[in-house]
Structure formats: C-alpha cells, structure tokens
C-alpha cells in the first residue's frame, strides 16, 4: 500500500509540472469571454478557494507562485493532521499493548486469551471507526468536487481546443473524459466506498472470530484495486485511441481551410486569415491559462485530503508495525487493515485527480493551429 501511495504522488508531481510549464509562457486572455472563463472562476470548489485567493485567469496568473502557495498552505496544516491522526493511532496502540499485557497474565487459559483478543478487537474497531468514516467522507468529497469542477472546466478547454483547430479530437476527448469521470464518480460512490466499509467490517470479523473470513477481506481489497486500475487503464487507452483517430481528421480539415482561403480569395484572403489567426491566438492563450488554472484548482482541492489520507495510512501502518512484535497477530492485522482502508480511499481520490489532470493535458494539447 505504501508503494501505491508513493506511485500516486510521483505521477501527481509529474503531471503537475507538465501543464504548468506549458501554461507559464503566456497568460493574456481574450476580452470577449464567450468560452465561459468567468463561470469557471466563480465555480471553484469551496475547499480550494481559500488556497487560490487572488488567482484569476488573466495576465497576472503566476502558476508557479500559486503552486508554491498551495503547497505552503497544505504543509501548514500538517501539524493539525498529525495531531488528529496520531491520537487515533496511539489509542489503538495503547489498546493493543493492554491486551498484550492481559494475554500475558492469563496466558495459560486459551479461552481467556480469546476473550481478551475479542475485547481488543472491539476497542480498536470502536475507537477507529469514526476516524475511518471521516477519512472515507474526505475521499468522497474530493471525488465529488473534482467531478463537479470537471464538468465546468472541460467544456471550456474543449471549446478552446475546437476553435484552435482541434474540433474533432477535442469533442472526442471531452466526451471520453466526462464519461470516465462520471463512471468513476458513480462507481466510487456506489461500489468502491461500500466495498471499503465492507472490507473494514470483514477485517473486524476476521480479527474477532478468525477462520477463513480473512480471505474475503483480501478479495475485497483486490477487487477495489482491480476496479480502480481497470478504470484508469481503460480511460487512458480510450482517450489515447480516440484522440489519435480524431486528430487525423483535424489536421486534414485545417489544411483544406488554409488552401481555400489563399486560392479563392487572394486579396481579401489576408484579412480573413488575419481575423482567424487573431481569434485562434487569443483563444489559444485562454486555453493555456484555463488549463493552468484547472490544474491549480485540482491541486488545491486534493492537497489537504491527500495529506490527511496518506498520513493516516502511514500512522496506522506504523502502529501495526509497532504492535506486531508484542500483540496477537489478529490485532496487528486489524490495524494494518485499517491502514489498507485508508490507502484504498486515497487510491480512489488519487485516481479521480489523476484522471482529471490527464484530461486537462489531453484536451489542451494542440494538434495544429490556423
């Protein structure tokens, strides 16, 4: 699970740099905002608006500075996150330690050991259930916010891309992105999150009663991982293939239009061509600025939730590692299962964010210009 978290952060960091380095070249926007850029600025999710104070889609947009600001504010909340998650992990560790001591005292009676183990499981479950619930709610909220924002951002980017000569590919990519983001949101809410709760429940039952129930928990964990992986891979392949197929049509269309202007309208052709270039160049700048803004919003929405989920996951993993040498394997296994549940929630939120970032990069990538 730790490797998965690390992979998500590496991918996130790489995707963060790419569109922002592309967008930082120019930030001037067209005066006529018929692409819906104002609507985009007004609909920034609440959780991100405090991190993006003073950031607008205009010539003053400083993507690098904004990212630094977001990271700074997120890091500033680490202390509070550590305090809240550490209390849960320490409580769990304390319960495990007490059970270990009690088991040591009554080691000669297996029934007593089982009863102590059962009490330990109940205490761990009760003390961590509210924490798990709030973490899963954080993941759910993150998915909903990124999904809702994507429905406003992607039409702006797709429209801008269409105007700059990528009508076919931007329509195809926009449709694919919205389809898969909707699919992820729906599957996340209706399948993955219930499965995570089920995983925690089955893990508690397995720790309490033993037997083959632990295999079911593993199956659920693998199912969640498989669902997220399948959606991410299907999305990437679908987006790539539709983009490749549609972009060849765009290139042909642009070439034909240029030939018609220069051949049939030789004198006024330059005026028409200049007008088309003026619109395309203005919209191109809007596209890059809106794309950079979209990336900043995704970062702002996801920064604190990711930190919270990752720190919780690591805290419970550390607690499981500390409990393993001294406590019953079922108790340390239960704590590790709680860590895995946090990891699954992080994976779900991470998949949503990465898919949106890939969509932004894919839709804003220009094929050819007029």
Partner 1 sequence: MIETIRNWILCIIGTTIVCSVITALTPEGTAKRAVKVVCGFAAAIAMLGIITDFDYADYSLYLSLYRLEADETISDALQKSSQQTRFIIEEECEAYILDKANGLGGGLDTVSVTAAWSDEGVWYPARVELSGNMDSEAKEQLTGEIAAELGISQEEQIWSGENET
Among 158, 208, 304, 338, binds partner 1 (CB under 8 A): 158
Nearer to partner 1, 91 or 214 (CB): 214
Region from 7-15, 81-89, 152-160, 288-296 binding partner 1, contact rule CB under 8 A: 152-160
Residue 274 within binding range of partner 1, rule CB under 8 A: yes
Among 11, 178, 249, 322, binds partner 1 (CB under 8 A): 178
How many CB atoms sit inside 10 A of residue 256's CB? Answer: 10
Q: Provide the minimum distance between the beta carbon of 128 and partner 1 in the complex, in angstroms, as a whole number.
A: 23
Nearest to 59, CA basis, from 30, 22, 85: 30
Residue 171 within binding range of partner 1, rule CB under 8 A: yes
How many CB atoms sit inside 10 A of residue 337's CB? Answer: 24
Half-sphere exposure of residue 325: CA atoms within 13 angstroms, side-chain side: 3
Residue 159 within binding range of partner 1, rule CB under 8 A: yes
Half-sphere exposure of residue 48: CA atoms within 13 angstroms, side-chain side: 26
Among 14, 105, 237, 272, binds partner 1 (CB under 8 A): 272
Among 152, 198, 249, 318, binds partner 1 (CB under 8 A): 198
Region from 15-23, 48-56, 103-111, 275-283 binding partner 1, contact rule CB under 8 A: 275-283
Region from 89-97, 213-221, 303-311, 341-349 binding partner 1, contact rule CB under 8 A: 213-221
DSSP codes, 170-230 = HHHHHHHHHHHHHHHHHHIIIIIHHHHHHHHHHHHHHHHH-TTHHHHHHHHHHHHHHHHHH
Among 7, 64, 215, 229, binds partner 1 (CB under 8 A): 215
Among 283, 327, 341, 342, binds partner 1 (CB under 8 A): 283
In angstroms, the Cα distances linking 257 to 159, 162, 170 are 19, 14, 18
Compute and round to an integer the Cα radius of gyration of the chain.
Answer: 26
Burial class (CB in 10 A: 0-12, 13-18, 19+), 104: exposed
Residue 187 within binding range of partner 1, rule CB under 8 A: yes
Residue 155 within binding range of partner 1, rule CB under 8 A: yes
Backbone angles phi, psi at 196, to 5 degrees: -65, -45
Nearest to 334, CA basis, from 63, 107, 35, 126: 126
Nearer to partner 1, 38 or 80 (CB): 38
DSSP state of 164: I
Q: Which residues bind partner 1 (CB under 8 A)?
A: 32, 34-35, 155, 158-160, 162-163, 167, 170-172, 174-176, 178-179, 182-183, 186-187, 190-191, 195, 198, 211-213, 215-216, 219-220, 223, 227, 257, 260-261, 264-265, 267-268, 271-272, 274-276, 278-279, 283
């Amino acid at each position: 699970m730790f490797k998965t978290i690390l992979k998500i952060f590496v991918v996130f960091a790489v995707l963060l740099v790419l569109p922002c380095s592309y967008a930082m070249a120019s930030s001037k926007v067209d005066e006529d905002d018929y692409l819906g850029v104002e609507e985009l600025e007004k609909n920034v999710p609440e959780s991100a608006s405090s991190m993006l104070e003073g950031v607008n889609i205009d010539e003053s947009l400083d993507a690098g500075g904004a990212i630094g600001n977001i990271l700074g504010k997120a890091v500033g909340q680490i202390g509070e996150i550590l305090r809240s998650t550490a209390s849960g992990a320490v409580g769990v560790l304390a319960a495990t330690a007490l059970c270990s001591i009690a088991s040591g005292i009554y080691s000669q009676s297996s029934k007593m050991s089982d009863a102590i183990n059962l009490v330990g499981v109940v205490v761990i479950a009760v003390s961590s259930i509210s924490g798990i619930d709030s973490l899963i709610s954080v993941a759910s909220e993150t998915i909903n916010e990124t999904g809702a924002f994507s429905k406003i951002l992607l039409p702006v980017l797709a429209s801008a891309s269409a105007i700059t000569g990528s009508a076919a590919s931007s329509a195809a990519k926009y449709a694919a992105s919205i389809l898969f983001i909707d699919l992820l949101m729906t599957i996340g809410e209706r399948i993955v999150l219930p499965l995570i709760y089920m995983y925690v429940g089955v893990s508690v039952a397995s720790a309490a009663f033993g037997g083959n129930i632990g295999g079911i928990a593993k199956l659920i964990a693998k199912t969640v991982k498989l669902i997220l992986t399948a959606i991410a891979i299907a999305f990437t392949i679908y987006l790539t293939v539709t983009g490749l197929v549609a972009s060849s049509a765009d290139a042909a269309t642009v070439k034909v239009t240029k030939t018609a202007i220069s051949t049939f309208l030789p004198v006024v052709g330059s005026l028409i061509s200049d007008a088309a270039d003026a619109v395309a160049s203005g919209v191109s700048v809007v596209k890059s600025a809106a794309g950079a803004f979209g990336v900043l919003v995704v970062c702002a929405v996801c920064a604190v939730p990711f930190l919270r989920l990752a720190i919780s996951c690591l805290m419970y993993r550390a607690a499981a590692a500390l409990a393993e040498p001294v406590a019953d394997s079922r108790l340390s296994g239960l704590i590790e299962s709680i860590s895995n549940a946090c990891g699954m929630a992080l994976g779900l939120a991470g998949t949503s964010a990465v898919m949106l970032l890939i969509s932004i990069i894919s839709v804003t990538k220009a094929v050819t210009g007029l």
